[in-house]
Structure 1
Amino acid sequence: MTHEQILNSLKENIQLIYRQSVDADQSIEALKEQDKANFIAIFGDNTPFTTRSARFLVHVEELAADLLALQQSNSNEEFERDLPRLVKKIELMFKTLQNFKQGLRG
């Protein structure tokens, strides 16, 4: 797989995460209005994300910034060093969004 193909795949995944995050953040807002969402952050301290927020979209912004940095890599070594960290974040977002969605169903 070429770098361009990898980047396109990452972009598609981030776009999907974005759409799911919009829905999740709307659900969080509804829960907050009912005093049912009393958490401070989506992810705890032991996470690859540097962002701390009770909303998903803020984390999507971090993913987009990481993708941009990966696109601007100056070397194969830099690309290959940074790629696994971004993939891990994407996997964590998908897993967390899925768990959140399941939690809403009860």
Structure 2
Amino acid sequence: MPHTQVTEQLKASLQTAYRQAIDADTRLDELKKAGHVKFDTIFTKDEGFTTASNRFQPYVQELAAEMEAMTQNTETMTQALEGYVRKLGLLLQTMQAFKSNAK
């Protein structure tokens, strides 16, 4: 698959992650007000993110910056894709699990 098609699919997934992050962060704010949020970060450093936050949007922003960097240098894109896709999948799965459990 050409890089342009891969890039477009990843951008669409990133947009989905952004919309879900807004909803998830709103729910986290509600839970924090009720005294239920007692964690410092959503992901550990071992999971590949450099961001450390108790909200989802900063992780989406990290992925958006990585996407921008990957599209600027197509020579290293293939190498960067594996880690990027893994982190994006982890983010989307975690938000889905949070949404299911936060009902």
Q: TM-score normalised to the size of structure 2? A: 0.96
**For residue 8 of structure 1, what is the aligned residue in structure 2?**
8
**For residue 58 of structure 1, what is the aligned residue in structure 2?**
58
C-alpha displacement of 1:44: 2.0
Give runs of aligned pairs for residues 6-85 of structure 1, distance below 5 A.
6-75=6-75, 78-85=76-83
The size of the alignment, in residue pairs, is 103
Find runs of 4+ consecutive structure 1 residues off by over 4 angstroms: none
Supply the distance in 1 between the matched residues of 2:10 and 2:62 (Cα, whole angstroms): 13
Supply the distance in 1 between the matched residues of 2:88 and 2:49 (Cα, whole angstroms): 10
What is the letter of the counterpart of residue 7 of structure 1?
A: T
Percent identity, aligned pairs only, is 37
Secondary structure class of the residue paired with 1:55: coil
- What runs of 5+ residues in structure 2 fail to find an aligned partner? none
Secondary structure class of the residue paired with 2:51: coil
Supply the distance in 1 between the matched residues of 2:24 and 2:34 (Cα, whole angstroms): 15
Supply the distance in 2 between the matched residues of 1:35 and 1:66 (Cα, whole angstroms): 34
Q: What is the root-mean-square deviation in Å for CA atoms of aligned residues?
A: 0.9
Q: Structure 1 10/74 Cα, relative in aligned 2: closer, same or farther at 3 Å?
A: closer
Higher mean displacement: 20-29 or 96-105: 96-105
**For residue 84 of structure 2, what is the aligned residue in structure 1?**
86
What is the letter of the counterpart of residue 99 of structure 2?
A: K
Q: TM-score normalised to the size of structure 1? A: 0.93
- What runs of 5+ residues in structure 1 fail to find an aligned partner? none
C-alpha displacement of 1:45: 3.1
Structure 1 residues 36-89: Cα deviation after superposition (integer angstroms, max 9, x where no partner): 1111111123211110000000000000001001101152xx111101111011
